[in-house]
Amino acid sequence: MSEMRVVATVDRIEGDKAVLLLPITGGEIPVPWPVSLLPSGVSEGSKLNFTLSIDRDAEAEARQRVADLLRKLTQRDQNLE
């Protein structure tokens, strides 16, 4: 499974929101983030490690649920005709 690692910097905390700075080519981009989803002890200037990956199993399950629902709806519509 391919993973991408990102190091974000906590720029500031404003009430229940933190502003994280994520690196992009040529600079950084601010991203609002709920403080409740940050580890305890985080403060301005803290560095956070994020690991991003695609969950292919969950994606396949979600696609199957949508396909099943669509099939049920289509069958129901055909039965109404």
Average pLDDT in the 7-23 region? 97
Query: For residue 10, what pLDDT is reported?
Result: 98
> How many domains does the structure of the chain reveal?
1
DSSP calls for 23-46: EETTEEEEEEEEGGGS-TT--TT-
Query: For residue 33, what pLDDT is reported?
Result: 98
Its sign, for the CA torsion 59, 62, 66, 72, is positive
Q: Model pTM? A: 0.71
CATH number of the domain within which 25 lies: 2.40.50
Inform me whether the pLDDT recorded for 1 exceeds 80. no
Average pLDDT in the 4-33 region? 97
Range of the domain at 51: 3-80
Q: What is the pLDDT of residues 32-76, one digit of tens each?
A: 999 999 999 999 999 999 999 999 999 999 999 999 999 988 886
